[in-house]
Amino acid sequence: MRVVIVGGGAIGRELAENLIRRGGHEVVLIDADEKRCEQLAAELDALVLHGDGTDPELLKKARTEEADALVAVTGSDAINTVIAMLGSRLGVSNLVVKLNDVGLRAACREIGVRKIIAPKIVAAAEIFASLHGFDRLDLSLAVRGGLRLTEVELAPDSPAVGQTLGELELPRGALVIAVLRERGERALVPRGDTRLEAGDVLLLLGEGEDTLAKAEEALLPG
């Protein structure tokens, strides 16, 4: 698998290291910091390119159009969104974007982003796990065991708006484990009497893809 990663910070570097360690992946890293690029090139078995990830010519130099996945994890939501847009134009089918602010989620979905990584949502999940007696939420073990995570943003006309979590009719095997509110500024530990609002982002845990798909369907406008 060929993976182009834009952003050589902590997340981008760790992803590159994991892909290289697993084997069978061709990794390209792009970063705007020249010194960081020099360090990454010396330490990783990857092609490291210095420059602006929103530069179409640099993306072509990285042969992004041949990539199986394009991952945008710079420190700017706007830059990550633009990178995803350029990747979509180049025909990359698997686009992954990191967003700190949930406000750009809809725009990313419209251009075909397959997965949005929201650090605040992950933090909320870890808080939930801690409050329920776990040291941390080990997502790798959850995935290997068949559990899946997804996020759903509630549209104003979603049937869930105005309901409490206790009133939601989710399929068996699906659970809301965190609620993000006010464009991600508030993370709520879900309770039965938590009343849902338009714009809330729900982190769903489900027993497999089919269960999650049914749960998402129940939250979408009719």
**85/145 same-domain check:** no
Mean model confidence pLDDT for the chain:
85
Q: Which two tokens stand for residue 57?
A: 């010519």
| Mean pLDDT value across residues 139-159 | 74
CATH number, position 170: 3.30.70.1450
**154/102 same-domain check:** no
**154/128 same-domain check:** yes
pLDDT in tens, 99-128: 887 677 778 888 888 777 776 666 555 555
Top pLDDT among 130 and 44 is at 44
**181/113 same-domain check:** no
Beta strands in the chain (DSSP E): 2-6, 26-31, 47-50, 69-72, 95-98, 115-117, 147-153, 174-181, 186-188, 201-207
pLDDT of 136 reads: 46
Of the chain, the end-to-end C-alpha distance in Å amounts to: 38
**132/110 same-domain check:** no
Task: Say if strands 115-117 and 47-50 run parallel, antiparallel, or are unpaired.
Answer: unpaired
| Mean pLDDT value across residues 173-186 | 81
pLDDT in tens, 67-89: 999 999 999 999 999 999 999 99
Q: Which of 117, 147, 180 is the C-terminal boundary of a domain?
A: 117
CB neighbours of 124 closer than 8 A, spacing ≥ 6? 178, 179, 180, 187, 188, 189, 203
**77/127 same-domain check:** no
Top pLDDT among 2 and 143 is at 2
| Mean pLDDT value across residues 192-218 | 88
Helix (H/G/I), strand (E/B), else coil: 172: coil
**139/212 same-domain check:** yes
Q: What residue numbers bound the domain in which 104 lies?
A: 2-117
**87/157 same-domain check:** no
Structurally, the chain folds into a number of domains equal to 2
Evaluate if residue 134 carries a pLDDT over 80: no
pLDDT of 117 reads: 77
